[in-house]
Amino acid sequence: MSGEIQNKVLFQQVVALVKNAQQQVIRTINSTMVYTYFEIGRMIVEEEQNGKERAAYGKQVLKELSKELTKEFGRGFSVDNLQNMRKLYFVYSNYETVSSISKVENQKSETVSSISLISEKPVLTLNFILTWSHYIFLLNIDDNNERKFYEIESIKNNWSVRELKRQYDSALYTRLALSRDKEGVLKLSQEGQIIEKPKDIIKDPYILEFLGLPELHQYSESELEQEIINKLEHFLLELGQGFAFVSRQQRISFDDKHFRIDLVFYNRVLRSFVLIDLKIGELKHQDLGQMQMYVNYYDREMRLEGENKTIGIVLCQNKSNLLVEYTLPEGNEQIFASKYKTILPSKEDFKRLIESK
């Protein structure tokens, strides 16, 4: 190996080491800050409990504390932020933090040392991994199971606060829960989205609001496909864990006949090709038959030894569940049909969707 190559390798190794150290420092700072806010919340609650008229007394405590802390430290100690610290204590003192469960993300958990509480009272050892901004958002989710799910997924997928908000606004937890039994829904809150079989990657509906296409706008399938390619990073985020883009308009030919698959992806977790066909309007049984042909072709001509069977997803604006059920064979685990929405449905729309399942 020449000296120039050796120097380049050394440089890359040092850069990787420094970047890793910087990330660990950031995680430690975040963890320490959130833990400190947790402790402030505990102190506020204990002080309030000593007050004779709890509500009025607590309000005055926060106002005076905010004034003095702002004078001492500057920004960051408004009454609203102190209320968030108080809420952090109430929420996270009642159950073990997801961030401290090693099986969720063992590698990341090890990068942030556990922090023992300052309090003289024996309480839980907490290990907050996300930023304070993440926890402020999470604290507004009332359902404990749903909150734990979004916390786990934020850690596993390195979601920014913006990405966390987008996934919550698109009701990711609700969409995944729709296709699971009670035990499966409970697992979502304990382990996040675990991908073990093709059905685990399917959502219904898919939310494509990032494309900027009005729901009632007249557009063609090719225009829809082009908008997805233009926002491919967002689309991969919506697809979920382990997806990598392979090609668009993939041509397959036999008997002098040519067909084109709209979008081809590969899922690294399932070790499977994932074919996506886009349909405007109502799903027809011919659409499912065509996807079955694409999947068969990939299984026989493209799949390598050691890879699992190809998965096909037909994305449509509307569908009949009975048509899908009677068109596809019993025990089907390869072909799926899902709706897509180009705007974020309201909570009422999601509620109606759940009730219709």
Q: In this predicted structure, what is the pLDDT of residue 107?
A: 41
Q: What is the pLDDT of residues 195-216, one digit of tens each?
A: 889 999 999 889 999 998 876 5
Pick from 53-57, 110-114, 150-154: least confident: 110-114
Q: Output 12 or 91, whichever has higher pLDDT.
A: 91
What average pLDDT does this structure show over 171-188?
81
Q: In this predicted structure, what is the pLDDT of residue 190?
A: 84
d(Cα 74, Cα 293) in Å, to the nearest integer? 65
To the nearest whole number, what is the mean pLDDT of the chain? 83
| The domain made up of 197-347 is a member of CATH 3.30.950.10 | no
What average pLDDT does this structure show over 42-55?
72
| Per-residue pLDDT band at 306 (split at 50, 70, 90) | very high
Decide if pLDDT at 292 tops 80.
Answer: yes
d(Cα 210, Cα 314) in Å, to the nearest integer? 19
Q: In this predicted structure, what is the pLDDT of residue 279?
A: 93
CA distances from 5 to 2, 12, 160 (A): 5, 11, 36
Q: In this predicted structure, what is the pLDDT of residue 119?
A: 44
Q: In this predicted structure, what is the pLDDT of residue 308?
A: 96
- Residue 252 corresponds to which tokens in the numbers above? 């397959």
What average pLDDT does this structure show over 8-25?
79
Q: Output 100 or 300, whichever has higher pLDDT.
A: 300
Q: In this predicted structure, what is the pLDDT of residue 83?
A: 92
What are the DSSP calls for 2-65, one per residue?
-HHHHHHHHHHHHHHHHHHHHHHHHHHHHHHHHHHHHHHHHHHHHHHHTSSSHHHHHHHHHHHH
Buried b (16+ CB within 10 A) or exposed e, 47-68: ebeeeeeeeeebeebbeebbee
Q: Output 346 or 104, whichever has higher pLDDT.
A: 346
Q: What is the pLDDT of residues 61-81, one digit of tens each?
A: 888 899 999 988 888 899 999
- Residue 267 corresponds to which tokens in the numbers above? 């899922």
Backbone angles phi, psi at 240, to 5 degrees: 115, -160
Decide if pLDDT at 96 tops 80.
Answer: no
Query: Which amino acid, residue 323?
Result: L
**pLDDT > 90 in the chain, percent:** 46
Q: What is the pLDDT of residues 312-336, one digit of tens each?
A: 999 999 999 899 999 998 889 999 9
**pLDDT > 70 in the chain, percent:** 83
Q: What is the pLDDT of residues 118-164, one digit of tens each?
A: 444 444 456 788 999 999 999 999 999 999 999 999 998 889 999 99
Q: In this predicted structure, what is the pLDDT of residue 51?
A: 58
**Structural domain boundaries in the chain:** 3-140, 197-347
